[in-house]
Amino acid sequence: MIKAIIFDMDGVLFDTENFYLKRRETFLAEKGISISHVDAKEFIGGRLEEVWRKFLAHYDLHFDVKELRAEYTAYKSQHKAPYADLIFPDVKEVLETLYRMNIQMGLASNSELSDIKLALESSGIASYFSVVLSGSDFTQAKPNPEIYNVACDKLGFDKAETLIIEDSEKGIAAGKAAEIDVIAIRDKIFGIDQSQADIIVEDLMDVLAYVKEERNNC
């Protein structure tokens, strides 16, 4: 029986990917760096510093990645994502229903902790999550499974009693490497390979229906 659910954040709880992509594109354009020829899905689900390092090395662009990241962090503080407006419309209803079903919930995102806190607090859903983990707390980000292994340990349930909700290829791979069942929210924009997921659904209401059915069958 499902007793705990670990959510990814971007693309699952918040419709942020397009906002992030445009913000990064604008910032890098000011540095004279074009990413218009890079497939957008390369930026989704990964740690931004790792993506930049790979991108800059591939195109022989001589920028200091750590310095670039620091500048982008400052840029983000002036161009914050409007998370309260970007939260998917079914999120609050789904989280409230799961809470009333005594499902323990965690969040494990490759995003920086400051962004996660801003997203959860500004949208009024922080109280639903007993465990919140950021990829910046780990040496390796998704698709490395460590963040999901730690989240599962902190929630205190067996992996067989835990479910992961993801959307990105890297996130799904991390969940499967952690040997936890993964439901993917179907990508309709970027062409993300979600084939590793155990189930692909349309939205979080489908996730809720799945959990209810699973509990009824126990």
For the chain, domain boundaries: 4-15+83-216, 17-78
* CA-based nearest residue to 91, from 135, 44, 123, 122: 123
- Token pair listed for 132: 């919140």
Res 47: pLDDT: 66
Between CA 142 and CA 136 the distance in angstroms is 11
Q: What DSSP line would sit under 60-89, residue for residue?
A: T----HHHHHHHHHHHHHHS---HHHHB-T
Which residue do the tokens 């800059």 mark? 56
The one-letter code for the residue type at 58 is: H
Mean of the per-residue pLDDT values of the chain = 91
Helix (H, G, I), strand (E, B) or coil at 162: strand
The CATH number given to 4-15+83-216 is 3.40.50.1000
Between CA 77 and CA 47 the distance in angstroms is 18
63 has pLDDT over 90: no
Q: For residue 21, with 0-12 CB atoms within 10 Å meaning exposed, 13-18 middle and 19 or more buried, which class applies? A: middle
The mean-pLDDT minimum among 9-13, 24-28, 55-59 falls in: 55-59
Mean pLDDT, residues 81-106 taken together: 98
Q: For residue 202, with 0-12 CB atoms within 10 Å meaning exposed, 13-18 middle and 19 or more buried, which class applies? A: exposed
Per cent of the chain over pLDDT 70 is 89
Q: What length does the chain have?
A: 218
What does R_g of the chain's alpha carbons equal in angstroms?
17
Mean pLDDT, residues 183-191 taken together: 93
Res 180: pLDDT: 98
